[in-house]
Amino acid sequence: MKKLLFLTVFLFLFFSCRQNDDIKTDKDSDYEFQSSDGTITIINPVMRPSAKGMNSAIFLSIKNNSLIADSLFSVESDIAELVEIHETFRVNKDKMGMRHVEHVVIQPDSIVMLEPGSYHIMLIDLYQDAVIGKEVKAILLFKHAGEITITAQVKDLLNISNR
Amino acid sequence: MPRNIIFTFITLLLLLISCSKDLPIVENLSESDYQLLTQDSIIVNFPKFAQGKVVVMGFIFTNCPDICPLTTNNMRIIQEKAKKDGIRNLEFIALSFDPDTDTPTVLTDYIRIRNLDRSNWTFLTGDKNVIKSLLKKVQVFAMPSDSSTTPSGKKYYYYIHTDRISLIDTEGRIRKNYSGSSINIDEIVSDIKLLN
């Protein structure tokens, strides 16, 4: 009987904790920006801290809510002299590189992550310091969805994607 | 021989092996001497200036917005964990493989914007050929590849480079290499404790 009671309490606590995790995830994903036609949603844009004259990157997720593919082909921001879409790539087991890409395609009803170790919005030659806590505006240009203005929060990003 | 004695013997042997301090020597730098420049423009002789301390060494360039900040962040996490665990006699070194860009002033800015703890962390730059020679010795590859040119004509090179953090013992010998951007923090902290 005691064992049954213990098991019940344990299971209750376990699922309570899981529920809390879910709530946290939902709250995090509330930081969103949407295109005027509602077809594209930008989720949680964040920027790495960097000093004036140096480079930085914006990471975010792009959700395509429509039934046709769309593509991000340009980004504008007053924070840097030049803004490009870049991709980090692995050369072999332990070598990494980075290159400019013309666009990122987002297939219908799917999400593309611009994340550490993968695609990112490259900010070249910052006009001012981007310190932790600061907010930076950028305009994302999509082939179908048009312009989406976002605000990225400057944060330390600690993890690399496993892609 | 009774079975339980054999079992006990094998268990003890396995325990002994797993507790061994013997991290193999990957590269011996103790006889090498590289004159480099710190973020404060002080000339130091590497690895001599850090000899007697266990060294966690990362390889970066400051124009890198993705992989190198991850390496820097990982070094900071290792530094914080080591401090929390009471590990002393530990030095952190970040070597730039882009000395043309990464002058002491640029390195100082890189440290400032990230609010890094400089108490046991030195950033190094220096003469291009000296750095090239050191990179060759430690088998770190770094080569400029793609570039971007700003409207005002500034050209930014991006390196293809080895993603590396190295652990160096108190005598200047590399004992283990890790992926800088995705290092297992517990693993390197455990290895630091073995060498300390």
Position with higher pLDDT, B21 vs B18: B21
Give which of A77, A95, A114, A157 to mutate to test B binding, by max B Cβ within 10 Å: A95
What are B168's two structure tokens? Answer: 């160096």
Chain B nearest-CA distance from A93, in A, is 9
Nearest to A81 among B74, B113, B152 (CB): B152
Instruction: Return the closest-CA partner of residue B101 out of B146, B58, B59, B62.
Output: B62
The answer to whether residue B128 scores a pLDDT higher than 80 is: yes
Q: How confident is the model at residue B171 (pLDDT cuts 50, 70, 90)?
A: very high
Contacts of A98 in chain B (CB under 8 A): 64-67, 146, 158
Beta-bridged to residue B90, according to DSSP, are: B54
Write the pLDDT tens digit of every residue in A40-86: 999 999 999 999 999 999 999 999 999 999 999 999 999 999 999 99
Percent of chain A with pLDDT over 90: 74
Residue type, B139: Q
The answer to whether residue B2 scores a pLDDT higher than 70 is: no
Residue type, A74: S
Which of A15-24, A73-82, B27-36, B57-66 is predicted least confidently? A15-24
Write the pLDDT tens digit of every residue in B154-169: 999 999 999 999 999 9
Predicted pLDDT at A18: 39
Per the CB < 8 Å rule, is B63 touching A54? yes
Instruction: Return the closest-CA partner of residue B143 out of B157, B160, B129, B130.
Output: B160
- Looking at chain A, which residue has its C-alpha nearest residue B179? A94
Q: Which residue has the tokens 């002491």?
A: B104
Per-residue DSSP letters for A29-86? Answer: TT-EEE-TTSSEEEEEEEE--B-TTS-EEEEEEEEE-SSS-EEEEEEE-TTEEEEEEE
Instruction: Return the closest-CA partner of residue A104 out of A120, A116, A89.
Output: A120
Nearest to A120 among B63, B66, B74 (CB): B66
By a Cβ cutoff of 8 Å, what residues of chain B touch chain A?
A: 62-67, 69-70, 73-74, 77, 106, 109-110, 112-115, 141, 145-146, 148-152, 154, 156, 158-164, 179, 181-182
Predicted pLDDT at B12: 53
Class level of CATH domain B24-195: alpha beta
Predicted pLDDT at B112: 95
Query: pTM of the entire structure?
Result: 0.84
Q: Residue B98, Cβ neighbours under 10 Å: how many?
A: 22
What residue segments make up the domains of chain B, in order of their start? Answer: 24-195
Contacts of B158 in chain A (CB under 8 A): 97-99
- Classify strands A119-126 and A80-90 as parallel, antiparallel or unpaired: antiparallel
Predicted pLDDT at B1: 55
Q: What is the ipTM of this complex?
A: 0.84
d(CA B89, CA B87): 7
Average pLDDT over residues B76-103: 96
What are A126's two structure tokens? Answer: 């910052």
* DSSP state for residue B19 in the 8-state scheme: T
Residue A119 contacts residue A104 (beta carbons within 8 Å): yes
Chain B nearest-CA distance from A52, in A, is 9
Q: How confident is the model at residue A31 (pLDDT cuts 50, 70, 90)?
A: confident
Nearest to A129 among B113, B148, B161 (CB): B113
Chain B nearest-CA distance from A144, in A, is 27
Chain A nearest-CA distance from B155, in A, is 10
d(CA B94, CA B124): 6
